[in-house]
Amino acid sequence: MKKRVIIIGAGIAGLTAGIYALQSGFDVTIYESHTIPGGASTSWRRKGYLFEGGMHWLTGSSPKIPLHKLWREVGALDDSVNIYNRDPFLTFEDNRQRACLYRDLDKLRRHFLEISPDDRKEINRLCRDIKKFTKMSMPVLDIKGVKVKEKSALPLSMLLAMLPALPRMSFYTNQTTMEFTRRFKSPLLRGLLESVVGPENNASGMIFTIATLVSGDGGYPEGGSLGMANRMAKRFQTLGGTIQYGKEVSKVPVQNGVASGIIIDGEQIPADAVIITQDTRVAIDNLFDSPLREPWAEKMRESTKPMMITFICVGVEADLSDLPESLTFVSDQPLRCGDLAASIISINNYAGYKGYAPEGCTAITSGIMGDSYDFWKACKEKGTYETEKQNLAETFIHTLAKKLPQTAGKIAVWDVATPLTYERYLHSYKGSWMSIMKKGSKMESYPSKPESIKNVYFAGQRLVNPGGLPVAVETGRRAVQYLCRDTDLVFQDNI
């Protein structure tokens, strides 16, 4: 008789875990509080416009990257899915000057030198480092002691290729992106580089992102976040798995140190194992009768720096396909969320993506990065929440019209999602969707299973800082490998 596994959450980690568990011989049911799959990898429609609320590029979209094999195994990618590799990836404008982040390294170097010949030394050094970091890639490995149908190991050639970048990692990790960009004389180049991952994050995120793009990876799969989630959900269900939507798990009951299932609406549903893919930072406090107090859990509580966004989207009754797909510019009227004031505005332009808007129209998204959770929570309590969202949307629409006059009077619909929105739908910590890597931050990796509770496994983006889609798929796979090892089953034995 097959062992019954319950997975909490139908996000990317939960769907990944479900697919691998089914392929390894388990009976699997996913319980999801939302009405759709995907978790933080999501999008939504308003009046005929599709607003991408999650993925902007996918690490592992290229067949050259080891992670690509995982995305194909779980159905996120297949031969029918087109990959958009926009180029330039990012355009920064200030005082009518423009700098572009090209994927071709030689073209990028020439472009930077044209902008600022005085920065030749730093430009050349940066391009040398980018080339080194293109060889860095997340390996796909098996845990120790698990039986597998097909082994996954780190090839020696891949390890040797990564070695030149290792001495430079601490250089970027131990400074913020803003500190790094002070080496450049050109304000335009500084602005472009700071726009890649934000000025306050450590500079390793910037160099890794640019290197990913230059390596030919980091494309955007057709259909975006929700399309990818739906493909994975279909793969899971085709394999015989069940997803129960609109089912919020309140507790994981534990008796004598052993998890026995889950509780929904007061009813206990038994299981042989439970894989928790809800935000681990929230789960360790809320899903058990008493908070989990293992050393790693305490460290997670202390070190988690949540990455939050107030997300703005508008539907424009105009074709903006002649404009950059990702445009960052300096505005004389900042967008405000309480103490946050964003004068550097970034917009994503989906005019070139079929199905994202009515014919001749364009879906645009933007966001204010930073911790605005307390501000929005206070607005909710005071009854000014909807008013503040509308004020923000109107300010953004006015700012957009000043930058792009063709949008003036052409806004068909707007929507604002705050950290409270994400908290409500994702049950994530303060509505965050990743973790911030501050100056000097080391990449933290947390365990897939607690020591004090048997039959419980964790997966999801919070398990490895800073998170993201690669972590979600890797930890979903890893959780099932631990499950297979504990139950003496062969990982992926049924494929």
| pLDDT of 439 higher than 90 | no
Please, how many CA atoms are within 13 Å of residue 181, restricted to the half-sphere of its CB? Answer: 23
What is the arrangement of strands in the sheet containing 309-316, beginning at the earlier edge strand?
A: 97-101, 90-94, 326-337, 340-349, 362-369, 309-316, 411-417
The confidence score (pLDDT) of residue 96 equals: 86
Least confident of 76-80, 383-387, 456-460, 489-493: 489-493
Which long-range contacts does 263-268 make (Cβ < 8 Å, 24+ apart)? 264/31
The whole-number pLDDT of residue 95 equals: 85
Q: Which pLDDT value is given to residue 449?
A: 97
Q: What residues contact 144, with CB distance under 8 A and at least 6 apart?
A: none
Report the percentage of the chain scoring pLDDT > 70.
Answer: 100
pLDDT in tens, 225-248: 999 999 999 999 999 999 999 999
Question: Secondary structure of 457-482 in the HEC alphabet?
Answer: EECCHHHECCCCHHHHHHHHHHHHHH
Residue 122: pLDDT band by 50, 70, 90 thresholds? very high
Q: 342's torsion region: left (phi>0), alpha (psi -120 to 50) or beta? A: beta
- pTM for the predicted model, two decimal places: 0.96
CB contact set of 278 (below 8 Å; sequence gap of 6+): 8, 9, 249, 287, 427, 460
Rg of the chain (C-alpha set): 23
pLDDT for 171-212, tens place per residue?
A: 999 999 999 999 999 999 999 999 999 999 999 999 999 999
Residue 303 CA to residue 293 CA, distance in Å, equals: 15
CB–CB of 215/62 below 8 Å?
yes
Q: CA quadruple 68, 12, 326, 431: dihedral positive or negative?
A: negative
Residue 440 banded pLDDT, cuts 50, 70, 90:
confident
Q: What is the pLDDT of residues 364-393, one digit of tens each?
A: 999 999 999 999 999 999 999 999 999 999
